[in-house]
Amino acid sequence: MLILKLTKALSDPTRLRLAALLLAFELNVGELVSVLGLAQSRVSNHLRILAGCGLAVSRRDGLWVYYRAADEGPARTFLAALRPLLLAEDDIRRDAAAAARVVAERTRESRKFFDALADEWSALSREILGDFDLTAYVSALLPEVGTAVDLGCGPGELVPALSARARRVIGVDQSPNMLAAARQRFGEDERIEFRLGELEHPPLREGEADAALFCLCLHHLAAPARGIEEATRCLAPGGHLLVVEFEGHQREEMRTRHGDRWLGFDPADVGAWLSQAGFCPPEISRKALPSGLTLVFYRSRKAAAPTACANLH
């Protein structure tokens, strides 16, 4: 019986702590070791047991493996029922606070990385894009709107693409140095505004934008699906979303040279995140780059009504 397998798997205190953590966070083995203060071999063994009965699932991203709680099915229902009891335990609340600090440190390290690279970012982008005119390509995919937001705008390289299609442009980035470079470049244009903030919690009002762009920034986020959910909040009903991302690859050097957390994405995963966040099924196009990487363009709209997805244009 499945219920016996699930209850037996959680009969150990450490596995209970792990299950509670994985309900709230996606973490790799090293991070779980840090939070729990246990040996890696012990943590790995407990993860194997949780995964074996379906309570945990893993995701390999290059050389890293991340774990999270089951997303659906009986195992998820079982864990969800236990959540109130788990959160009542002092040890589990302390684990959650420690895990939140680990995730916050990821964000701090990312901000420091991009601050240091602000002056070199254009050159690094050319290494990947070659002579591909991303600005023109993005501009052609965006509609004419009132307000457009560039989520993860960096030094503002794609702001011209948005300003050509929108009466007002907002750029959001977590790096003060990147935003300083963008403001220096566009400071005289009153139609363009830059705001400092995290993409998982962007400094935008609900429904403030008519169009949003994520260009090569979701792979820097600890939780890219959360970024897409926030785009839903910031867009008006029927608002347009354009996501530009790498297709999945195995270029480990992208982590150290470009600060990538994810080595691209499976388009099916991005499509699922969009659907879960309330977007229409995306129109997808691809562009192979001289660097060997492939850009994938996802063009969608925030569903305003059941029939709103019939036409993306």
Q: Kindly report the backbone phi and psi dihedral angles of residue 211, in degrees, each rounded to the nearest multiple of 5, phi listed first.
A: -150, 145
pLDDT given for residue 222 in this prediction: 82
Q: What's this model's pTM, rounded to 2 decimal places?
A: 0.69
Q: Kindly report the backbone phi and psi dihedral angles of residue 36, in degrees, each rounded to the nearest multiple of 5, phi listed first.
A: -85, -20
The two tokens of residue 261 are: 């957390």
Give the type of residue at 108: R
Q: What is the mean pLDDT of each run of 10 residues along the chain (313 residues)?
A: 87 92 88 89 92 89 80 89 88 89 74 57 73 91 96 92 95 89 87 92 94 94 90 95 95 82 93 95 95 95 69 51
pLDDT given for residue 119 in this prediction: 57
Buried b (16+ CB within 10 A) or exposed e, 44-77: eebbebbeebbbbbeeebbebebbbbbeeeebbe
- CA pair distance 265, 263, nearest whole angstrom: 7
Which residues, at least 6 apart from 158, have a Cβ–Cβ distance to it below 8 Å? 134, 135, 138, 150, 213, 215
Q: 190 near 128, Cβ under 8 Å? A: no
Q: Which CATH superfamily is domain 119-310 in?
A: Vaccinia Virus protein VP39 (3.40.50.150)
List the chain domain ranges: 2-108, 119-310
With residue 3 as reference, give the H or E element that holds it.
Answer: helix 2-9
Q: Give the neighbor-by-neighbor strand order of the sheet with 27-28.
A: 27-28, 64-69, 56-61
What CATH number matches the domain at 2-108, 1.10.8.100, 1.10.10.10, 3.30.70.270, 1.20.140.10? 1.10.10.10
Which residues, at least 6 apart from 170, have a Cβ–Cβ distance to it below 8 Å? 147, 148, 149, 150, 192, 193, 194, 195, 204, 208, 209
Give the type of residue at 261: R
3-class SS of residue 216? coil
Q: 10 near 19, Cβ under 8 Å? A: yes
What are the Cα distances from residue 175, in Å, to 153, 168, 182, 228, 306? 10, 22, 11, 19, 38
Query: Which residue in this structure is represented by tokens 């300083």?
Result: 180
